[in-house]
Amino acid sequence: MSLRVLLAEDDPDIQFVAGAALQRSGVEVVTVGDGRAALAAITDSPPDAVLLDCRMPGLDGLEVCRRLKLDPATAHVPVILLTAAQASEIERGLALGARGFLTKPFNALTLGDELRAILT
């Protein structure tokens, strides 16, 4: 299954490692560094899924998820939270419509498989 995923992560090191791990597993990855850029990229060309860091400065991943799910043009796009966040934030994300979550630190060798498992 070929996937095009938007990765929104503000930490350049995590962005690089996650992006490389996903690409190695056959996922096409578009990366952005904040929530506003994520919304713009999704509006321009909706991906097959969005992998969002919960805690980004400015517009955080939970707010991006909320906005995506409220917009009929993007409500269908699966959102997966990538987070080291507390359980309450994960619960809030799921309540906002996120399909699932992956925790930091993640295993770069299995990240693509874990993402696909959430999407199936």
Q: Does domain 3-119 have CATH number 3.40.50.2300?
A: yes
User: pLDDT tens for residues 57-97?
Assistant: 889 999 999 999 999 999 999 999 998 867 888 899 999 99
Report residue 98: phi and psi, to 5°: -60, 145
Domain ranges of the chain: 3-119
Model pTM? 0.93
* Token pair in block for residue 8: 């929104």
